Amino acid sequence: MTLLMQEVLGGLVLGSIYSLVAMGLTLVYGVMEIPNFAHGHLYMLGAYITWFLLVSAHFGYWPATLAAAVVLSGIGALLEWVVFRPLRNAPQVHAMIASVGVMLFLEALAQWLWGPDFQRMPTPYGRVLNAGPFTVSEQQLVVIAAAIVCMSLLYLFLKHTPLGMAIEAVAQNRTGARLVGIRTHRISLITFGLSAALASIAASLIAPIHLIFPAMGTMVIMKAFAIIVIGGMGSIPGAIAGGYILALAESIGGAYVSTNYQDVIAFALLALILFLRPSGLFTKGV
């Protein structure tokens, strides 16, 4: 029972991160219809920038997290402007290939700037709390709470601000949104920035628990793709639910079946769901 509880806790922590990353991915997909293969590498870059600000510039943990998110939103917006906007009317495959190019570039860039070694991020929440046989680190609680705060803020932003509603409108129908005077290019730019910022926050949150290395985004992005396909591409509630479902399946499956095949679970689940329901489990709608 303790083992199960411990695995559920681990699953919730991982699920918080998966959900944040998948939300950004699905947001960009909903608005621009681009599966951004570089999204995981924006996550990686967020982790490195946070780490750099903490260790070399002596920022506090939260200022570093926020500053990294701001930097990443700038990088995301730049990518939309330079790479993806010119490909808007090209065949779908072209934007996907361009995002693969961005991904390869970012990984090499991180390796060049910071080397291939693993880095550990310091955290002010390093203590471990014990409750009987049950152990939990402060950072794990911080991850879960911060993810909930981010999701709530994103919900309020999308549902109750004019800008957020404009994003939703573009996701629902780009041409229609243009017709009523929404500047779709600007919305794409903002969406890309927002999505990169979400990835960066997720990375800053989990980095003190996991390690930082140039390829850290690869597995995360594939998991995030699995999640948004499971949740229905473009659906934010789907991304949140999918993130927690996948993480819980992984950590519980890893504990009771085999840690060796933990990563296979995600993709087997994805293949199964696509086989049964090619359009995803949840219906579309941001």
Burial grade of 263 (CB within 10 A; 0-12, 13-18, 19 or more): middle
Task: Pick one of 64, 83, 144, 236: the residue that binds another protein (CB under 8 A).
Answer: 83
Confirm or reject binding of residue 165 to another protein (CB under 8 A). no
Binding mask 175-194 for another protein (x = CB under 8 A): x--x-----x----------
Confirm or reject binding of residue 283 to another protein (CB under 8 A). no
Amino acid (one-letter) located at 10: G
Confirm or reject binding of residue 278 to another protein (CB under 8 A). yes
Q: How far is the CB of 140 from another protein (least distance, A)?
A: 27
Confirm or reject binding of residue 225 to another protein (CB under 8 A). yes
Q: Which segment (46-54, 142-150, 243-251, 264-272) binds another protein by CB under 8 A?
A: 264-272
Using only C-alpha atoms, the chain has a radius of gyration, in whole angstroms, of: 19
Which segments within the chain are labelled E, that is strand?
A: 128-131, 134-137
The SS3 of residue 118 is coil
Confirm or reject binding of residue 80 to another protein (CB under 8 A). no
Confirm or reject binding of residue 90 to another protein (CB under 8 A). yes
Instruction: Name the token pair of 283.
Output: 């219906």
Name 191's Cβ contacts closer than 8 Å, sequence gap at least 6: 27, 28, 31, 32, 80, 167, 170
Name 58's Cβ contacts closer than 8 Å, sequence gap at least 6: none
Looking at beta carbons only, is 44 or 106 nearer to another protein?
106
Task: Pick one of 44, 47, 102, 207: the residue that binds another protein (CB under 8 A).
Answer: 102
∠ CA 159-161-167, nearest 5°, is 70
Instruction: Name the token pair of 123.
Output: 């955290």
- The residues that touch another protein, with contacts defined as CB under 8 A, are 29, 33, 35, 83, 86-94, 96-98, 100-109, 111-112, 116, 174-175, 178, 184, 218, 222, 225-226, 229, 233, 260-261, 263-264, 267-268, 270-271, 274-275, 278
